[in-house]
Structure 1
Amino acid sequence: MSLEKILSISGKPGLYQLKTQTRNGFLAESLLDGKKISVSGRHNVSLLSEIAIYTLTEEVPLRDVFLKISEKEEGGEAISHKEPKIKLEEYFFEILPDYDEDRVYASDIKKIIQWYNLLHKNGITDFSAPEETEEKIEKDVIKADPKTPKAAKVSTTKATSVAKGGASKNMAARKK
């Protein structure tokens, strides 16, 4: 499972796994205790895949921070999120040396480490970015505009199109 289906819900402890969409929101299952809850539009929900950490030069996706923690711990759990503030900050500095200390608070570091340990405990250790294949992109483009011919929707290099004979056929079809 990837981070695309893992949620943080404000006012609720821990993390949640997105299960299904309902009429008024969606159903999520807690990674802490396995209880299912209904989440409506009034809740503030964040996907972990969309969260980034401020550094002095850029924003680093949370998945990259999790990867760095995993590398440091050789796939094991991180330190406890209940450690003193100074120890958490030192640990995070080892993970992400250029994090912006003015915008990343100790409470943020605590939460990141807690989330990492919770994900690790639940066997969610694949923090790599999902790869989009050309077929998936092609299908998404075709769904967007079903009237456009398939060859016109997905752009390929001229060498590939000409080699397949696609460019001349498409041009002839457009002229008619």
Structure 2
Amino acid sequence: MNLQGIVAVSGKPGLWRALAQNKTGYVLESLDAQKTKLVANLSTAKLAALTEITIFGIEDDIRLTDVFEQMKAAANVPDAKADGKKMRAFFYEVAPDHDEEKVYASDMKKILTWFHILKDLPAFNEADPTQAPAPEAAPAEVEEPVAEVVATEPEPAPAPKAKAKKATKKAE
């Protein structure tokens, strides 16, 4: 999935696509049907790129993009307005190592809302250009025969030339 340039803005609902950058911040466009434009000032607004967001895990943090991949593969993704127990059960399917005490119902609602916004975008189904291709997709390397190298004695380096000193005559 290619989520480059998609951000969440604190205090603003939904997701935004970064269109351009100016001296004071970013020009953003909402991903909803209205396509609202917004200039987010870097000194007042907090932007979070979706590719950088993680979820609290028991051992290690879980990347949001990994959770979205699991959600794409899931058969039945609940609505963001679903019961808290149903959302928690779903999160145990897609992110079994999430920390139950630190991941709140509001976090799960936000992630589900974001997933429902993103799932219809063409970029959501594209490959991420920053990720390396899967090992199965990599072409098999062909081993070429190595040419035999014959060792020879290196030629001696030429001796450095002595610098000629210029004689200067002082004017009397």
Q: Distance in 2 between matches of 1:15 and 1:38?
A: 14
- Is the CA contact 2:8–2:14 (under 8 Å) kept in the aligned structure 1? yes
Q: Distance in 2 between matches of 1:59 and 1:132?
A: 21
Q: CA deviation at 1:122?
A: 3.0
SS in 2 for 1:109: helix
The structure with the larger Rg is 2
Residue by residue over 1:36-57, the C-alpha shift from the partner in whole angstroms, topping out at 9 and shown as x without a partner, is: 1111011011000100111111
Q: Distance in 1 between matches of 2:131 and 2:121?
A: 23
Moved over 4 A (4+): none
SS in 2 for 1:114: helix
Question: Unpaired runs of 5+ in structure 2?
Answer: 134-172
Q: Which amino acid aligns with 2:122?
A: G
> 1:1-176 alignment to 2 at 5 Å?
2-32=2-32, 33-41=34-42, 42-73=44-75, 78-126=77-125, 129=128, 130-131=130-131
- Is the CA contact 1:66–1:127 (under 8 Å) kept in the aligned structure 2? no
Question: Unpaired runs of 5+ in structure 1?
Answer: 134-176
Q: For structure 1, which segment, 1-10 or 45-54, has the greater mean C-alpha deviation from structure 2 after superposition?
A: 1-10
Over the matched positions of the two proteins, sequence identity in percent amounts to: 32
SS in 1 for 2:20: strand
- Is the CA contact 2:3–2:124 (under 8 Å) kept in the aligned structure 1? no
For 1:172, the equivalent position in structure 2 comes to none
- Is the CA contact 2:80–2:110 (under 8 Å) kept in the aligned structure 1? yes
Q: TM-score if structure 2 supplies the norm length?
A: 0.69
SS in 1 for 2:55: strand
- Is the CA contact 1:67–1:128 (under 8 Å) kept in the aligned structure 2? no
Q: CA deviation at 1:110?
A: 0.8
For 1:164, the equivalent position in structure 2 comes to none
- Is the CA contact 1:78–1:116 (under 8 Å) kept in the aligned structure 2? no
- Is the CA contact 1:10–1:43 (under 8 Å) kept in the aligned structure 2? yes
Residue by residue over 1:44-85, the C-alpha shift from the partner in whole angstroms, topping out at 9 and shown as x without a partner, is: 110001001111111111000000000113xxx832101111
Task: Give the structure with the higher percent helix.
Answer: 1
Q: Which amino acid aligns with 2:2?
A: S
Q: Distance in 1 between matches of 2:9 and 2:102?
A: 21
Q: Which amino acid aligns with 2:19?
A: K
Evaluate the alpha carbon distance shift between residue 49 and residue 55 of structure 1 in structure 2; reply closer, same or farther with a 3 A threshold.
same
SS in 2 for 1:70: helix
Q: What root-mean-square deviation, in Å, do the aligned CA atoms of Structure 1 and Structure 2 show?
A: 2.0
